[in-house]
Amino acid sequence: MTIEVRPLGADAWHQAFTMMELSFGETWPQDAADVERARFEPDRSIGAFVGDTLAGHAAIYSFTMTVPGPRSLDVAGVSLVGVLPTHRRRGVLTALMRHQLHDLHESGREPVAVLTASEPAIYGRYGYGCATQWVYAEVNRAKRAMRPVPGSDEVTVRYADPEKSLDVCAGVRDAIVPTRPGYVRHNEPWRRGEIADPESERGGASALRCVLAERDGEVTGFAYYRSKANWEPGGPNGTTIVQRVHATDTASYAALWRFLTDQDLMSKTTHRRLSLDDPLLSWLRDPRAAMVTVRDGMWARLVDVRRALSERRYTTPLDVVLEVRDDLCPWNAGRWHLAGDGSGASCGRVDREPDLVLDVADLGAAYFGRPVLAALGAAGLVEERTPGSLAATSRAFTSEVLPLLDTPF
């Protein structure tokens, strides 16, 4: 079977939309599709053709993301990846992934690609590693008592119209984007998408609600959430479904969470995308008040090892030779001398014995600061040739706060 991968051109959205419905086995409601279309970049959409049949599709969102330093880095947000059910297991996805990565390299665009996976087991073979995790937390209102947080009683929380308060909420989020690796700087379509409220995606819950946190007349935080009532014979058993919470200071963040976890008629509060080090989990007096599920979040792939490793900063001074395995992107394979600290970094080819030998996917898993290299070494997946080099490299790669993708795509 001959597969030709090429740009889709002017009709990219219609072709991608049809492809996604077939490959994901669902009908995409028009109101939700309209939100996605506003963010779609047709010039970064590619299709895999078998004859005249569009057998597969992949797209890229042009993101600017925080990496350890903190620094801002342009990354390729890979999304809308699908293969026709009639053409699965025939090399279509591999052709798409190879074309996309090689094109990024040859064009000199983003040195790192990221994605969220519907089937996580797929993407390791294309050099992606799990770079962030998501915590799904369900907080029981009856047990939600929180430890006192200095200054939180001085914060007021009030309702605001999501549309009218969009600029001020976006300003709060812009201010905190540099504070955590994995945060995406939103352009206008993504800002608008934050308050998009397709009825098809409410799942029986209310329209989107917005509250603002204020101190001394200044907006210091906000939250987006929905309420889902549930009336049972034993009493009300509703759910507060939190979509996003951000604040520029700890006291305001605590005040917002106190409000969200103590809603009348709501027996629990949920959030799908917390970090494992989110302060909420430390504030709860009863650690069992939150039922927590941890899953993979963002997967990262180093398209250009030299550029990617040079662009981020390192928590502790590092001087190491890495031997990288990369079958799909052979320009990355080989030995690299990485030297860096909190003020700068350099990476270049070298003809020296390596300190560590690892797969490019393992570099992707560690790139945004997740403390994973030492664990991969303990699992036998990263080979230490120089004693002590694994621990030193793991410390240097680990960020002070855990990375988190707060913008699903």
What is the model's pLDDT at position 50? Answer: 96
pLDDT-derived band at 241 (thresholds 50, 70, 90) equals: very high
Rounded CA gap, 59 and 184, in Å?
Answer: 17
The CATH architecture assigned to 135-296 reads 3-Layer(aba) Sandwich (3.40)
What is the model's pLDDT at position 1? Answer: 85
What integer is the mean pLDDT of 240-252? Answer: 98
Cα dihedral 61/325/181/104 (nearest 10): -20
What is the model's pLDDT at position 157? Answer: 98
pLDDT at 152 over 90: yes
Backbone φ and ψ for 390, nearest 5 degrees, come out as: -65, -45
pLDDT-derived band at 16 (thresholds 50, 70, 90) equals: confident
Domain residue limits, the chain: 4-132, 135-296
Rounded CA gap, 356 and 376, in Å?
Answer: 12
316: nearest Cα among 395, 206, 198, 404: 395
pLDDT-derived band at 129 (thresholds 50, 70, 90) equals: very high
61 in catalytic set: no
List the catalytic residue out of 61, 367, 397, 409.
Answer: 409
Q: In this structure, are residues 139 and 260 in contact, taking their beta carbons and an 8 Å threshold?
A: no
Lowest mean pLDDT, pick from 111-115, 261-265, 308-312: 261-265
Rounded CA gap, 80 and 379, in Å?
Answer: 33
pLDDT at 327 over 90: yes
pLDDT digits (tens, 9 = 90+) for 62-95: 999 999 999 999 999 999 999 999 999 999 999 9
What is the model's pLDDT at position 299? Answer: 99
What is the model's pLDDT at position 118? Answer: 93
Rounded CA gap, 19 and 33, in Å?
Answer: 13
What integer is the mean pLDDT of 252-270? Answer: 97
What is the model's pLDDT at position 19? Answer: 86
Alpha helices in 142-240 (DSSP H): 166-176, 188-194
What is the model's pLDDT at position 11? Answer: 85
What integer is the mean pLDDT of 285-296? Answer: 96
409 in catalytic set: yes
Q: What is the mean pLDDT of the chain?
A: 96
Binding-site positions: 81-83, 89-94, 118-119
| pTM for this prediction | 0.96
pLDDT-derived band at 9 (thresholds 50, 70, 90) equals: confident
Asked if 4-132 and 135-296 have one fold, the answer is yes
pLDDT at 10 over 90: no
pLDDT digits (tens, 9 = 90+) for 190-227: 999 999 999 999 999 999 999 999 999 999 999 999 99
Concatenated DSSP letters of 10-28: GGHHHHHHHHHHHHHTS--
Binding-site positions for acetyl-CoA: 81-83, 89-94, 118-119
Fold of 4-132: Aminopeptidase (3.40.630)
pLDDT at 292 over 90: yes
List the catalytic residue out of 40, 63, 123, 314.
Answer: 123
Rounded CA gap, 48 and 116, in Å?
Answer: 20
